[in-house]
Amino acid sequence: MRVLVTAPTAFEIDPFRKKFPQAECLIAGVGAAFTIYHLTKTIQLTPFDMVIQAGVAGSFTTDFPLSEVVNVKTDCFADLGAFEKNNFSSVYDLSLADMNHFPFMSGQLINMNAEIFVSKLKPVNAITVNTLSDDDLRIRIFQKKYHASIETMEGAALHYVCLQEKIPFIQLRAISNYVGERNKSKWKLPEAVDRLNAELADVYSSFVN
């Protein structure tokens, strides 16, 4: 099986690349726009059988201890819409898009095989945003609207591209911080990267060996 491993930054998967120098990896960049472009271009040039995205994430809930690795089942472009009068309306609320137009289902991008591919990690709902959240009102709005456990800046881009191209995929995320906590001394970034790469190595090996 030919597997592409992708991450927003090299830092997030450096230990994996050192352990598996033969692995085909893509550093797609931070944010959905960069991810969509580089991932689409890469998979159109090369016939991959699986794409694994790995990175860190912020958690909306303390149910997940810092550095835990989770398996994202659903994701969405959470901040695509309009903030007005302390409220947020999505493109679906504004009747600018059909929430069930493929590959969306009720506005969500769902990996139906997430728990089959990676059964040992907790499946979670995620949101993808262009700006990480530290505003209490914004955090409450997103929590209420999407019922998500984590936020990233690239996850929905992976889901969107792979669903469109009909390529199986996995999104692995390690919790480096709690959403809204901007004091980085309270983050567990090195620990999250270590755990992420350990899980990534196991998942990758299960497909290529």
Q: Write the pLDDT tens digit of every residue in 177-193.
A: 999 877 888 899 999 99
Closest alpha carbon to 5 in 44, 36, 41, 39: 39
Mean pLDDT for the chain? 95
User: Quick check: 135 pLDDT over 90?
Assistant: no
User: Quick check: 136 pLDDT over 90?
Assistant: no
User: Helices in 72-132 by DSSP H: which ranges?
Assistant: 114-117
Read off the CATH number of the domain in which 202 is found: 3.40.50.1580
Give me the amino acid identity at 195: R
d(CA 84, CA 207): 46
Return the axis-axis angle of helices 32-45 and 155-165, rounded to nearest 10°: 30
Q: Which three-class secondary structure state does DSSP give residue 82? A: strand
Number of separate domains in the chain: 1
**pLDDT value at residue 134:** 75
Which helix (H) or strand (E) is 122 found in, with range?
A: none
Q: Which two tokens stand for residue 126?
A: 């995620």
Which domain range does residue 63 map to?
3-208
d(CA 172, CA 70): 6
User: Quick check: 133 pLDDT over 90?
Assistant: no
**Four-CA torsion 158, 162, 167, 168, nearest 10 degrees:** 50
d(CA 37, CA 161): 9
**pLDDT value at residue 209:** 78
User: Quick check: 99 pLDDT over 90?
Assistant: yes
- 12-26: average pLDDT: 98
Q: What percent of the chain has pLDDT over 90?
A: 87
Q: How many Cβ atoms sit within 10 Å of the Cβ of residue 21?
A: 8
